[in-house]
Each structure stands twice: as structure tokens, then as C-alpha cells.
Amino acid sequence: MLDKDNSVLRNSIIWCDSRAVSYGEAAFKNIGEEKCLSCLLNSPGNFTAAKLAWVKENEPEVFDRIHKIMLPGDFVAQRLTGNTTTTPSALSEGILWDFKKGDISEDVLNQFGFDKSFIPAVKDVFAEHGKLSRKVAEELSLKEGIPVTYKAGDQPNNALSLNVLQPGEVAATAGTSGVIYGVSDQLTYDPQSRVNSFAHVTHNNTRPKAASESPNFNCISGMREAQLAKQNPCRKNSTDTAILALLLSGMAKVSVRFTAVLLLQFFATNFNIRYKSKSLAFSKETLCPSPFTSPSVIKGPN
């Protein structure tokens, strides 16, 4: 949250802070579950929009000074260039993006009473978001004017690094949290809201494209404790071991035809698994009764 002078108004609320869950649940009910899932591809849950609603109610003196809101990647790019932009991918992670309209969600803005002017100019992830300013260039010993042409969140970035970009590709990562994600070329959502769906880094919103050129990013996190604990009292905090156990025990029950499985080690505390299936679809079945993570719902053809 920045004011008109681009000064930070408060510290960010970390993703796993559950203070905004009740705001997201109320929005899910008021907007309508079917509309949320079909347009936002998610429940508002405990994401950015709900957290901003918490700030509005509990810190009105801060909320009243907001000029722009942004995710971390947007903020870093703003500091590098002085130019404030965001992306469909970032807005979808904040549950502020209407996939059916291809625009900022008016339903979410109206539900929480947010001014649309809070949202920076929307550009594709791969686009020019500004040029390196003279001041920053001098501090970093770089050339002034270098274009900043990419920015995204942690898991979409991770998917890009693993080359998980095409529909049907699936990967898993575990570090401070555990996430399984896959790519779909459809507006896919989980009817039971167990899986989060976001716009991938290759999602293109500024020119006509085929569905396969604008994939969505579906992920299931092993750290969604605040929202899922009530559904499964046996749940415990996710660990690398737990997410790996989910993969190993669940793979045998998932009807996916794999063409490749790769295990990539990232430092000592993080691992990534990447594999390819023919397609992805959601199932109501519980494929793995793990007490550590929410049920895997990635399913494909035999």
C-alpha cells in the first residue's frame, strides 16, 4: 500500500496470516459461490483483497491514505523504475481478477468498497513495466534506462523456472510451504474450492489469442491451514516430507499418463518435481488421506 508520494503506508501482511479469513468467507457468500468460482476461479479466502478489507475496517486511517496497492513483484518494479503497474497474474493471486471479463473484478471491488483507482495500470507479465531510473542505476552500478520486462509471484516464477508452461504440465515444490500446481488452457476451477487457480505468467490479456496461449495456473498448497483445518481435524503443518509423501502415495491413485518425471534439487531446503500429463481436471474424490496436506485433486485420463 503506497500513498500519493509512493511512500509505504504499513508493513505487508504475510500470506499465511489468517486474520482476513472471515472477510473472504463473507465475500464468497455475498457475491455468490458459483459466481466467485466461475469468474474469479477461487473463493476470496484469505488473499490480498480480503486482507485489504481487514485494513479498511481495522486501520481506517491507513486505508484512507491509499493511493495504489500492489503485490511484491509490482512493488519491486515500482522501486526500480518509478512506474507503477500490475498484471493479470498478480491481480488473480489477490482475487481481484475476473477471468470471464478479462478485467479487474467489479464484484470484488463493490463487495469490499474499494476504489478502482487503487489498482495500477494492468499490463501482461512479459511487457515493459518501466525503465531503470537514474538513481537506482547509480546505486546498483547499472546502466540507466534498462527496461524491466517481467515480474511475477513466487509460484508462477517457480513454474517458469521449471518450464511448466504448457497445458497438462504439473510440478510440485516444497520449502517453507508445499505446493502442487498444474497448467490448464481452460477456465478451470475446483467446485469444492480446494484448489486455487491463477493466471499464469504466459497469460496474455492485451491481444487476441488461442486458449492454449493464455494458460491458467492451478495449485494446491499444503499450508492452507486456516481455511481447511475445520474440514480435516487431523491436519498438521505441511513439511517437505509431508508433501513428498502426498506425491508418492497419491500418484498411484491419480489416473494420469506421465510422459516424464524430473526431480530438481534447489539448495538444501527446497525440492521441485515436474511431470507431464495429457490433461488436468478436478475430481470430488479424496485421492490421498494424508493428515498433513489437503487432498490432491489433480486428475487426468487413463
**What is the average per-residue pLDDT within 161-168?**
84
Determine how many CB atoms are found less than 10 A away from the CB of residue 213: 12
- pLDDT over 70, % of the chain: 67
CA 94 to mean position of chain CA atoms: 7
pLDDT at 108: 98
Query: pLDDT band for position 233 (50/70/90)?
Result: very low
Query: pLDDT band for position 206 (50/70/90)?
Result: low
Winning range, highest mean pLDDT, from 177-186, 222-231, 250-259: 177-186
Residue 175, all three cell numbers? 520449502
Instruction: For residue 104, give every residue at least 6 positions away whose Cβ sits within 8 Å of its Cβ, in sequence order, or none.
Output: 91, 96, 97, 98, 116, 119, 122
pLDDT at 170: 82
Residue 15 has pLDDT above 80, yes or no: yes
**What is the average per-residue pLDDT within 147-166?**
87
Residue 184 has pLDDT above 70, yes or no: yes
Domains in the chain and their CATH numbers? 21-140 (3.30.420.40), 154-299 (no CATH)
Query: pLDDT band for position 102 (50/70/90)?
Result: very high
pLDDT digits (tens, 9 = 90+) for 119-134: 999 999 999 999 999 9
Count Cβ atoms within 10 A of the Cβ of residue 250 and give its class: 0-12 exposed, 13-18 middle, 19 or more buried.
buried
Instruction: For residue 76, give every residue at least 6 positions away whose Cβ sits within 8 Å of its Cβ, in sequence order, or none.
Output: 151
> Residue 82 — left, alpha, or beta (φ > 0 → left; ψ -120 to 50 → alpha)?
left
Residue 225 has pLDDT above 50, yes or no: no
Dihedral pair phi/psi, residue 262, rounded to 5°: -125, 140
* Cα atoms in the Cβ-side hemisphere of radius 13 Å centred on 154: 12
Instruction: Say if pTM beats, i.e. exceeds, 0.95.
Output: no
Q: For cell 547509480, what's the residue?
A: 138
Query: pLDDT band for position 288 (50/70/90)?
Result: very low
Query: pLDDT band for position 261 (50/70/90)?
Result: low
Residue 219 has pLDDT above 70, yes or no: no
Asked if residues 41 and 95 have their Cβ atoms less than 8 Å apart, the reply is no
199/41 Cα distance (integer angstroms): 10
Winning range, highest mean pLDDT, from 100-109, 172-181, 208-217, 250-259: 100-109
Asked if residues 97 and 217 have their Cβ atoms less than 8 Å apart, the reply is no
59/62 Cα distance (integer angstroms): 5
**What is the average per-residue pLDDT within 228-246?**
43
Query: Which of 44-58, 153-167, 268-282 is the least confident region?
Result: 268-282
pLDDT at 281: 52
DSSP 261-298: EEEEEETTTEEEEEEE-S--EE-SS-----SSSPPP-E
Average pLDDT over the chain, rounded to whole?
A: 77
Residue 213 has pLDDT above 90, yes or no: no
pLDDT at 120: 97
DSSP the chain: -B-TT--B-SPPPPTT--TTHHHHHHHHHHH-HHHIIIIISS--TTSHHHHHHHHHHH-HHHHTT--B---HHHHHHHHHHS--EE-HHHHHHTT-EETTTTEE-HHHHHHHT--GGGSPEE--SSS---B--HHHHHHHT--TT-B------HHHHHHHHTT--STTEEEEEESSSEEEEEEESS----TTS-SEEEE-TT---SS---GGGS-EEEEEETT-HHHHTTT-TT-----HHHHHHHHHHHHTTS----S-EEEEEETTTEEEEEEE-S--EE-SS-----SSSPPP-EE---
pLDDT at 302: 30
pLDDT at 106: 97
